[in-house]
Amino acid sequence: YVLNSDLVPFLVLAVIAIILIPIQTSFEEVFMRGYLMQGIGIAVKNRWVPLVSTSFLFGILHIFNPEVAKLGYGIMVFYMGTGLFLAILTLMDDGLELALGFHAANNLTAALLVTAEWTAFQTNSVYRDIAEPTLSWDVFVPVLVVYPVLLLIMSKKYGWSNWIERLTGKVLPPPPNSEIIIEEEVYVD
């Protein structure tokens, strides 16, 4: 690793990254886990199909990243594993907030902390990796160790239970004759 000593380009990068990366990752999360996961779940009436299919699709959407060309398709384990982790977060927490935050933090770290000539984010980050890239154990550690540990910590913190039902259970249609009621405020002079 080589330390970047150009402070001004890094500060410009930091401002741009802090503004734009959350927008980019939010779009991906709202699309993948918001719209697709819900739409597929409603269509197939279960949770496990959207869990698996959106995780796979999330990985496939990254197939044109330069890391895949340089490291081979084995890196797809990381992308699909990350998609699975984000999908589990969404289903267990019943919301997008944790997935949104994790995805933004991950991409900000990739853009600001370390870069290489063969990565998707080629930036003026703090460090530049100049080693010859290889697909090794460090690609699998997040999927096999870090993500499970994070899920365990979050399950304790947020009191998650009933994992099997939340990840594989049925998606029930809305009750018949259900209405959306919008209350109007009436102002009197």
| Best CA proximity match to 153, nearest among 93, 76, 104 | 93
What token pair was written down for 69?
């060309």
Q: How many helices (H) and strands (E) does the chain have?
A: 9, 3
- Whole-prediction pTM: 0.86
| Best CA proximity match to 39, nearest among 171, 174, 189 | 171
Which neighbouring-strand residues pair with 170? 46
Question: First-to-last CA distance in the chain?
Answer: 69
| Best CA proximity match to 29, nearest among 92, 103, 109, 89 | 103
Eight-class DSSP state of 55: H
Cα torsion at 97, 103, 106, 110 (round to 10°)?
-140
| Best CA proximity match to 123, nearest among 37, 15, 26, 28 | 15
Q: How many CB atoms lie within 10 A of CB 41?
A: 20
Q: Where are the alpha helices (DSSP H) in 72-178?
A: 76-93, 97-112, 137-141, 147-158, 163-168
Are residues 127 and 114 in contact, defined by beta-carbon separation less than 8 angstroms? yes
Per-residue pLDDT of the chain (189 residues; tens, 9 = 90+): 899 888 999 999 999 999 999 999 999 999 999 999 999 999 999 999 999 999 999 999 999 999 999 999 999 999 999 999 999 999 999 999 999 999 999 999 989 998 888 888 888 899 988 888 888 888 899 999 999 999 999 999 999 999 999 999 999 876 676 565 556 665 565
